Structure 1
Amino acid sequence: MQDNRIAQAQVYTDLQGLNALKTEARHDKQAALRQVAKQFESLFLAEMLKSMRKAGDVLSEGNYMNSQQSKFYRDMFDKQLSVTLAGNQGTGLADVMVRQLSQQIPGMQPDGQPLAAHRASLADYRRSAIPVSPQLPEQLNRVRALEAPSSVATDTAAQAAAPEAVAGDAPTLPARFDSPEQFVQTLLPLARRAAGDSGIDPQVMVAQAALETGWGKHMIEGEGGQPSHNLFGIKADARWAGGSVAITTTEYRNGLPLKEQADFRAYGSYEDSFRDYVDFLQSNPRYRDVLAAADQPREFARRLQQAGYATDPAYGQKIHSILGRSALMTATGGETPPEREE
């Protein structure tokens, strides 16, 4: 519901309505943008009327009706007229500004509609239970072992059962994966945490990572074999301030595969790679249409290809094909990402 004080902005002498736009912008950016655009259009109309009056003043020299008092009230009338005209149909300038500036509002499409991943309030967030990690039972056993009475026998048993936990080291994830099942079971929980409220389906993220890494068997590594944990083949361009590794990669130029040397981003963990992937899409305007289809896996993959994420002409189709693989079906209980009905 619109603040009543905003309606008062239709009177040019009341500045309280303009101040209310700051509050409105926190709740409804699109409505606040339209009000600001109308105010700007009224300023434009006021300047236009002012110029027209100046042209008419040349012909009214010597007229006893052309006094300072009449000019004062005439200016008041013109200012209110400009606000009223802009608040109604106007000249169309406000509509043009809304279409242009809507593209710069986070979470909004160019036509002013919210993106599929946009969350305007708490009611828009998912209310399903947080998926339980397959590693939870093992972690619980380690915690119970640490809470046991401190004795030589107990300590020895705890060290034998969970040496990593006793030593204080986090579980080490493999640098390469032996099977698609291991790849999915290890990385799907990380994808779910990284997806957050972005709207991107974690299964689609894992499928794309499987395509980029050959199910984890062809990981990007440095010259010394150090892992980069780069699951999505994101290159280290000028915007990247972290570490990188240089490898020879295949790029498609004019439909032909060519070998090229390129620098790729290096991460401290696979979870960092998932989080950077989400941030990479959200912070790049070229992927705005991709995120608008975040709840449509097939369309998401197709738009990802169209946006130029990869040079492989069959990139989107390959991602969708991987979504039907048995490894993903088994890890998710036989469920595939649902397509939204249009």
Structure 2
Amino acid sequence: MIGSPSTDLTSKFALDTKGLGDLKQSAKAGSPAALKEAATQFEAMFINMMMKSMRDATPQEGMMDNQQSKMFTGMLDQQMSQNLAKRGVGLADMLTRQLTSNQMGAQALAIGADGTSDTGAAGKAAAAATAVAPLQGMPPGKDAATIMKTGLSTPGAAPLPLTTATGRVQTPHVRAFQEKLHAHAAEAERATGVPAKFMLGQAALESGWGKRMIRNADGTNSNNLFGIKAGPGWKGKVATAVTTEYVNGRPQQKVEKFRAYDTPADSFKDYANMLAKNPRYEKVLASGGDASAFAHGLQRAGYATDPNYAAKLTRVIKNSLA
């Protein structure tokens, strides 16, 4: 007797379209095993979107960074996502329990063979989430589709999208960085007209998402989110650090003095004041809602010496922030 084909895709190549076809057929037949496997593949897809967001938030430059290496890196990420989903992070189990308890067939999570593109993956994730009733442990009135769009925002606060404009799901450290500083960025936006998202992107680039902050002599945080140096006219606190400056296109290590602040809010206020009052940044303020124009305006005004600064900043704003 010939048994039904195995739908366990976690032990197969991530791009095995035949395996996905078998899974679709099993899902149509209402197989409980197919329901579990479809939920696992949804989890793998979710993990893969997070890995893509992490890749996009990491500066990529060098001899080994090209279209071919990106293609193979993407394939590697897909396989790793599939292997991680086999262990499970809990999402597949929640989906399976919820679908089973509501007597919903595995067809709700059947995955098509074209789910490898960014837009397609995000669309399928949203569609699958819409098909699922509120997940166990989620706040009342918040179903999975709403969570995918807005995240778990604080009551009374304006919700931030959980996905970026390009459909990528934000990684936890990016999400935490944006939620922590969003109110300060919004205040700076009211003072300058520059979108809060643009300033958050620059703070992320300059501080490594808050993980490479300049330190004071006693080891405390300088709260200098924008890498603003302490010139002769600065009367506040000062922190000294080694920084990379580009001279004639070549990176050089230099010891520089930077401004230090008591709080992150003070950093945003000083940054907004600098943009508003320094004539060098007039065109930056006039860039409107164009992320690329904002980034290139900063570079032309001499904000940074890195020749790739504008490209890096544009990538962070567009691909990583909601």
TM-score range (shorter-chain normalised) is 0.3 to 0.5
RCO comparison, higher one (Cα < 8 Å, 6+): 2
> Which protein has the larger Cα radius of gyration, Structure 1 or Structure 2?
1
TM-score (norm 1): 0.44
TM-score (norm 2): 0.46
